[in-house]
Chain A
């Protein structure tokens, strides 16, 4: 009998329609929002550009065989030390087409366009192609024109995508980690911990972030883009923390949490395994908006020329445009890129909100 009952139970389980999970439901809802989907595709497209930027435009071969070894000089665009020092020692760095002179047997796979985001391409670097002329409007060689120092704007834009996306993800990632931990702790433990953390959040919110950021950047001996990311992240977590706290306050009252507690689970398991996954949906929305804000902040700092902005920063290009108002290509392209990227993240954020918020869901159906 017992066996029979078990079999029956199994059968019932098999026959029952599989419940659609929260996330897949949200995804299917998200997919139906045309604007949000377009924005997502745009961001994915940017991500592809960022990853493959050295293959799209650059002056370093993607792969080359030189003196019987295979090298990947283009990786130097990601991290300078990844470009093998042999090229520097042999005097062909920044003039890779000369490789043949040193080693006639060498071969290389080149990026689609021979232009450099960091320097001006000079006459005769690439056989038959003239060097960049400064202040040049968009043309066949320089798709988005050149700046006042003859550097290619298209190359800067493409490689700048990496900076824009990276700054968005890394700084918001930092903000999210801090925000979720602080918010979760405050909401879950309550009492004096909550009081203390909530005051800390309030104090953080009172600090004029941009001014502190400027001060911090000026203190740092050699500010890099990574410092900027950390600074933006460290000051951008309060919104996330408050939302997380609210979600935790709400969720910890629910029966399943009480049940988990009754089962004797300790707090880390309760927080990370049981409550956090259910609290995540509303938190993702400010994270998405945070990415947009971080990109905007980096562009603002680049525009103001504060803390040595990366050579390929879109904001820095824009600030060059400010000095050269007649060179519209220095304003239109980076301006449009910043605008579209920020808009896309905001649309995605809104899309996530629409598809995960039960109240909005209800109103929609």
Chain B
């Protein structure tokens, strides 16, 4: 069974800026645009009647026959993958050589790349057959907060996303390569029209909500309308979803998504959180908040869910989820894989040190280790008695972020100087314990959209090395010089002499504070005073969203699609906290979204028209008449950003996992061992244990 393997695409971009104590430090929010709406929306008119789906522009969908005719005229349907992600993983593993036996792997100490690969290879395997699995097993994980909302539409904290990934129903998912698919657990067929304007999905007829009512196409249509209703306070859910023109259920199983434009990103837009129509259709008009009325409060206590688990107990100490039988049984027969765990226990633990103690004592089965814990606290006999550890590359990048709206960082030269003044080697070797890779820009070097990895952008980006003399020179060129001999640079701005003195903000976690102190120490040497101000995570999030900071230290997880970073770099976008503005980048994002045939030619793009920039990007002049691929567009964005240095990119964080020796089946994706398909769904406990 794989409902739980379908990762809600609501969890696209992980933001790390503000969430210090979560297990992975990533709070998952949907893309950023709506955040601006959330903070700046007009007060709603209380007397206005509730209209379901009032944000959807009027559109009268054709009948199914008319639609079929239209699509046939436009070239017909194209089949899209309908997959079982466990099967997919099993097929992958069948191709991979087994590097060690389970026994060997359990006896290994993870001291080298080789041992890491061996442990992952042996313990990451799926069970050979059902007989191997202990289906009565419980897994205990740590989570940073208590559960406030169970409704997947209202989820906003790490814990809520975690719970809704276990209890929520979804049609789509993506694998470790970020290839999107429809889940065969929920869907029998998925087809896209040749012109890219329609997606047609046929759902299975053996799907049940936890109250026994069938899950139908009407639930998906209803959920779309709910998300697109102004009075429903779920602005974060609307990003992407708002690019859909209409969702129409033609019968219980047939569902068609109508798109405004043929975009590469439509495959992600069709994936939104789903709630049961029969439960909410009569109550939503009375209480569009979905949480205030008595009925909704009651529902929050015992919700109707569609995922493979349901919450049976929740308090300030833990959240207990049990396997839901009706998720894999239908008419007395097993119709889907049975989830591997009978119970999932999420213990609320904030401190990573107490989590580690819990892991070693057997109180929890899995946790994300800090580099310091990986390096110094998990090498003892004591640790290896019950646990083992693995690491993998994830596309989570950390950076110093320079607010271009301040008098200091508007000039790219200053930002370049900051990057050059920082001691990257000390950071990687001492602060990151030599366990992380240097980060060289917004996309990960192993992704297809990184310059030089098989795309038209030839620029080779090398990690930066500290160069104080160059940094001083750039600051001089930018007009920042020490005129009063106090050891700090200054510059006349609007008739006033201003000292180069700014504050950097970060979450108050020791390792982050220490890294910013290293920056302050380095900048002092080039005559720049940097104050380090740790903030509590909620305050930090608030300050960054309101752009009330000079510089910030933080990071971003990866979305499944490169387009998701538009809200970080697009002019005026909600997560563009640093006020980076570049029409060339905006244009490239727009082009990257389009289907290949709709894209502009290279020679018509802004980056091509600037000969200096073209030379910098090292694009072959021969391809002027060709159209850029998606990868080309994002690689060019990456390179332009690297030139402008709106961030000082620091390191790509490896994921360090501490795991109980009884667990099997964990595999890394660029989003860690959980946030993809199958992710958590592939983890199991052997029978013998």
Contact = CB atoms under 8 A, between A and B. Distances in A.
Contacts of A324: 353, 372, 376-377
A148 B486 contact: no
B562 to A, nearest CB: 34
A320 B433 CA distance: 16
B426 A120 contact: yes
Interface stretch (A4-12, A84-92, A348-356): A84-92
A149 B514 contact: yes
Nearest to A86: B487
Interface in A22-55: none
Q: How large is the interface on A (under 10, 10 to 19, 20 to 34, 35 or more residues)?
A: 20 to 34
A71 to B, nearest CB: 13
B487 A323 contact: no
B521 interface: yes
B377 A222 contact: no
Interface string A102-134: 000000000000000011101000000000001
Contact of A319 (B510, B514, B525): B510
Nearest to A81: B486
Best-buried of B380, B430, B513, B525 by chain A (most CB within 10 Å)? B430
A150 B430 contact: yes
A326 to B, nearest CB: 6
Interface string B512-525: 01100110010011
B239 interface: no
Given A91-B468, A324-B372, A311 B487 contact: no
A323 B525 contact: no
Best-buried of A118, A148, A222, A305 by chain B (most CB within 10 Å)? A148
B541 interface: no
B339 interface: no
A85 B482 contact: yes
A278 interface: no
Given A94-B525, A118-B521, A319-B510, A135 B375 contact: yes
Nearest to B433: A134
A311 B513 CA distance: 10
Interface string A292-327: 000000000000011010010000000110111111
Interface string A241-275: 00000000000000000000000000000000000
A29 to B, nearest CB: 47
Contacts of B101: none
A120 B142 CA distance: 34
Given A89-B482, A120-B430, A308-B533, A323 B352 contact: yes
Given A85-B482, A93-B525, A149-B431, A311 B517 contact: yes
B372 A148 contact: yes
Contacts of A218: 535-536, 539
B609 to A, nearest CB: 42
Contact of A88 (B357, B487, B518): B487
B263 to A, nearest CB: 44
A322 B350 CA distance: 14
Contacts of B332: none
B500 to A, nearest CB: 13
Contacts of A148: 372, 376, 510-511, 514
A280 to B, nearest CB: 40
Interface string A183-223: 00000000000000000000000000000000000100111
B134 interface: no
Nearest to B423: A122
Contacts of B430: 120, 134, 149-150
Contacts of B370: 323
A150 to B, nearest CB: 5
A319 B352 CA distance: 13
A135 B434 CA distance: 14
Contacts of A320: 510
Contacts of B431: 149
A119 B423 CA distance: 13
Given A94-B521, A149-B430, A150-B430, A325 B482 contact: no
B408 to A, nearest CB: 16
A164 to B, nearest CB: 20
Contacts of A323: 352-353, 370, 372, 510
B485 interface: yes
A91 B487 contact: no
B532 interface: yes
B550 to A, nearest CB: 11
Contacts of B376: 134-135, 148, 324, 326-327
B477 to A, nearest CB: 17
Nearest to B529: A80
B512 to A, nearest CB: 11
A89 to B, nearest CB: 7
B422 to A, nearest CB: 14
B503 interface: yes
Nearest to A319: B510
Contacts of A150: 430
Nearest to B488: A85
A182 B377 CA distance: 53
B531 interface: yes
A222 B397 CA distance: 27
Nearest to A307: B534
Given A88-B487, A134-B430, A311-B517, A305 B482 contact: no
Contacts of A308: 513, 532-534
B522 to A, nearest CB: 9
A69 to B, nearest CB: 14
Contact of A222 (B469, B503, B524): B503
B185 to A, nearest CB: 42
B482 A222 contact: no
A222 B370 CA distance: 28
Nearest to A222: B531
Contacts of B513: 305, 308
Contacts of A322: 353
Nearest to B468: A91
Contact of B525 (A88, A149, A222, A305): A88
A91 B525 contact: yes
Contact of A326 (B377, B433, B487, B534): B377
B508 interface: yes
A305 B510 contact: yes
Contacts of B469: 91
B168 to A, nearest CB: 35
Interface string B178-201: 000000000000000000000000
B557 interface: no
B375 A119 contact: no
A91 B522 CA distance: 11
B510 A85 contact: no
B527 interface: yes
Nearest to B352: A323
Interface in B64-100: none
Contact of B486 (A85, A118, A120): A85
A94 B487 CA distance: 14
B149 to A, nearest CB: 27
B531 to A, nearest CB: 5
B264 to A, nearest CB: 44
6 contacts: A81-B486, A81-B487, A88-B487, A119-B521, A149-B514, A305-B513
Given A94-B521, A148-B514, 12 more contacts: A81-B486, A88-B524, A135-B375, A148-B376, A218-B535, A218-B539, A221-B533, A305-B534, A308-B533, A308-B534, A324-B376, A325-B377
A-B pairs with the 10 shortest C-beta distances? Answer: A85-B487, A135-B376, A88-B487, A305-B508, A148-B372, A222-B531, A149-B514, A323-B353, A150-B430, A119-B521
